[in-house]
Amino acid sequence: MGQLVVFEKDSLDLNENIEDFQVVPKSHGFNVNVPPFGHGNFGGHENDSTVTRNKVRETLRLFQVVSRKILQQVEGNSKGRANNSKRVDLQASKILKEKGKYVNTGKQILGSVPGVEVGDEFQYRVELNMIGLHRQSQSGIDYLKHNGKILATSIVASGGYADDLDNSNVLIYTGQGGNVMSSDKEPEDQKLERGNLALKNSSEEKNPVRVIRGYGSMDGRPKTLVYDGLYLVESYWQDMGPHGKLVYKFRLRRIPGQPELALKEVKKSKKFKTREGLCVDDISHGKERIPVCAVNTVDDEKPPSFKYITSMIYPDGNLTRHEGCDCTNGCSDSNKCSCVVENGGEIPFNHNGAIVEAKPLVYECGPSCKCPSTCHNRVSQLGIKFQLEIFKTSTRGWGVRSLNSIPSGSFICEYIGELLEDKEAEQRTSNDEYLFDIGNNFTNSTLWDGLSTLMPDAQSSSLEVVKDGGFTIDAAEYGNVGRFINHSCSPNLYAQNVLYDHDDKGMPHIMLFAAENIPPLQELTYDYNYKIDQVFDSDGNIKRKDCYCGSVECTGRMY
């Protein structure tokens, strides 16, 4: 069995009132067989019904967009390197805390945390604190006091997780202390105190401990933190550490009955030459730089027939050519770069390619611009960068998911098809699920509400809203992977209007971006933004379509 050795800093950042705690009853969520502790079992929560999944998602989304906004300011400030000593994540979390956006801030919780699901991914350690999953800012062991005895509530294991997935139900965790992280102190034997003592007590009391694992992703992206669920501390012992001093080791075993981590499933599938349920190797037939396979483990159906294209099909007529900028040394000058001016004086993307915030319209540099192809104002026109696949769902036909972890703000794909005038599109109502009505995709701003309240001084100047120009995209016969992305009443993507190769605001490109961190194999969805009783057939009769997205916010009807 491979060992995951983790050394954490000796300093602790305990909550002020360590006596406060909650025993989490098994009221909902997965069923786990956990020995009784106190007056209840662990696995659910009933004392804080106001904290929902959507509240947790809202807090994390706000943190992510505020972080990107601050990073944009740092990157755009030639003197910003001096400000970089204040980490972006800490600045963003401070803003959210001051505005009362933290959740699960009451008593410490033993067991699962309301609104947090197994498999949730995080880019920053402070996100764990903001949602009450792990309240220590530095220490890898969090704990509370109960009947005069401290018990562990959660641990962060930030070792080489991806290499230990085969043994992911068992974790060997190395305790804290011993000055192993200090450069000015001599290493010493770890002591059975604080976090180490809490884990030892938890092995005796058999209370569940939340485990958050850190791993370097398999596609070379930065390390990600993932909530791995509840574990029990089976045993502990002393061992000789790499510095020649005694360290404490704790063996934790994952409680059965919890969802498997998607990362483990992805790694398992890559061990076999043939993917289970694989029915098409590449639906793009080589037209995408990354193959898009089709997987069906539900039945024997193959994907529907259509012509795969990678660029829009426009109606006859000349588009207004985009003039482009004259920048040759990079696009950053808000006075000289015409593209930056059109974006309200700032580039809408960070240097890592993440969109900063949703806008009515984004201008990317395009074919007529003199800046190089590496300009960081060229993002969505470069095509897909994640390993997407279509898969057969049990209730909603074909859907789309990724084999990679997707950070919030990342570009996913364009919605591509034939651009039709609305009158012609109305004659194709038999393919409603493949029609995208341009101009109606910015009305749902719920994914991004709150930024102006949190950072009123950082808001960019408002730009002209893309009005309904009388055009619809039909992806039924000609399209790309975007045609398979399903609707959800609680989506994890949003549709962004983008112009780069022409200036006709009535027919922008529809680019889909991640509205939050998305784990591997989680279905990608966006809000189709239909209005109830506002969709008609060719005879003028109201059409009705039920919604099966499964979201707790589901209205039951798509239109």
pLDDT digits (tens, 9 = 90+) for 493-536: 999 999 999 999 989 999 999 999 999 999 999 998 877 776 77
How far is residue 116's CA from residue 240's CA, in Å, rounded to a whole number?
Answer: 36
Report residue 556: phi and psi, to 5°.
Answer: 90, -15
- DSSP string covering 375-401, please? -TT--GGG---S-EEEEE-SSSSEEEE
Residue 63 identity: F
- Residue 506 falls inside a structural domain: no
Specify the amino acid at residue 65: V
Question: For residue range 467-501, what is the model confidence (pLDDT) as tens digits?
Answer: 666 899 999 999 999 999 999 989 999 999 999 99
pLDDT at 306 over 50: yes
pLDDT at 11 over 90: no
> Would you state the pLDDT for residue 39?
33
Instruction: Tell me how far apart the alpha carbons of residues 276 and 295 are, in angstroms, rounded to a whole number.
Output: 7
Q: CA 377 to CA 363: how far, in whole Å?
A: 8
List pLDDT tens digits, range 383-401.
Answer: 999 999 999 999 999 999 9
Residue 166 has pLDDT above 60, yes or no: no
Find the CATH number of the domain harbouring 244. Answer: 2.30.280.10
Q: Where are the alpha helices (DSSP H) in 13-120?
A: 53-76, 80-83, 88-98
Q: Please give the residue that has the higher pLDDT: either 518 or 454.
A: 518
In this model, does residue 343 exceed pLDDT 70?
yes
CA distance 545 to 407: 32
pTM score, two decimals? 0.86
pLDDT, residue 42, reads 44
Beta-sheet strands, E only, within 297-347: 307-308
Residue 66 pLDDT greater than 60, yes or no: yes
Considering the domain boundaries, does residue 351 fall inside one?
no
Number of Cβ within a 10 Å radius of residue 166: 12
- What tokens does 242 get? 């790499």
Q: Is the pLDDT of residue 203 over 80?
A: yes
496 CB-side CA count, 13 A: 31
pLDDT band at 29 (very low <50, low <70, confident <90, very high): very low
DSSP state of 265: H
Indicate the pairing of strand 224-240 with strand 209-215: antiparallel
Instruction: Please state, in angstroms and rounded to a whole number, the distance separating the CA atoms of residues 521 and 404.
Output: 8
Q: What are phi and psi of 60, to 5 degrees?
A: -65, -40
> What DSSP assignment string belongs to 118-131?
TT-EESSTHHHHHT
Residue 40: inside a domain: yes
CB contact at 8 A, 223 and 214: yes
Neighbours of 269 (CB within 10 A): 16
Nearest-angstrom CA–CA distance, 149 and 216: 35
Instruction: For CA atoms 29, 32, 37, 39, give the dihedral sign.
Output: positive
Neighbouring-strand partners of residue 211: 155, 229
Is the Cα dihedral 372, 377, 379, 382 positive or negative? negative
Contacts of 137 by beta carbon, 8 Å cutoff, 6+ apart = 13, 125, 126, 129
Residues contacting residue 418 through CB under 8 Å, at least 6 positions apart: 312, 313, 473, 474, 475, 477, 478
284: tokens are 């793009």
- pLDDT of 217 higher than 70: no
The confidence score (pLDDT) of residue 7 equals 33
Let me know if residue 246 belongs to a domain. Answer: yes
Assigned domain for 386 exists: no
As a whole number, the mean pLDDT across the chain is 83
CA atoms within 13 A on the CB side of 134: 31
What is the DSSP secondary structure assignment for residue 335, as one 8-state letter?
T
Mean pLDDT to the nearest integer, 457-465: 55
Three-state DSSP class for residue 490: coil
- Cβ burial 537-553 (10 Å sphere, 16+ → b, else e): eeeeeeeeeebbbebee
Residue 208 confidence (pLDDT): 98
Rounded to an integer, what distance in angstroms lies between the CA atom of residue 2 and that of residue 170? 9
CA distance 402 to 265: 12
Answer whether residue 146 is part of any domain: yes
Provide the CA 53 distance to its chain's centre, in angstroms: 14
The first and second tokens of residue 516, run together, are: 């939050």
**Taking the CA of residue 526 as centre, how many other CA atoms within 13 Å lie in the half-sphere pointing to its CB?**
27
Residue 348 has pLDDT above 80, yes or no: yes
Bridge partners, residue 307, by sequence: 478
pLDDT at 165: 47
Residue with more model confidence, 242 or 45: 242
Give the Cα separation of 366 and 363 in Å (integer): 9
Summarize the confidence of residues 212-218 as an average pLDDT: 75
Query: By three-state DSSP, how is residue 201 classified?
Result: helix
Q: Is residue 142 assigned to a domain?
A: yes
- Positive or negative, the Cα torsion across 447, 70, 387, 284? positive
Residue 22 confidence (pLDDT) above 60: no
Asked whether residue 340 is domain-assigned, the answer is: no
Domain tally, the chain:
1
Domain with 142, as residue range(s), is 21-46+104-268
Least confident of 78-82, 172-176, 277-281, 312-316: 78-82
343: exposed, middle or buried (C-beta count within 10 Å: 0-12, 13-18, 19+)?
Answer: buried
pLDDT of residue 43: 42
The conformation of residue 255, written as its DSSP 8-state character, comes to: P
Residues 366, 342: Cα–Cα separation, whole Å:
13
Please state, in angstroms and rounded to a whole number, the distance separating the CA atoms of residues 145 and 133: 17
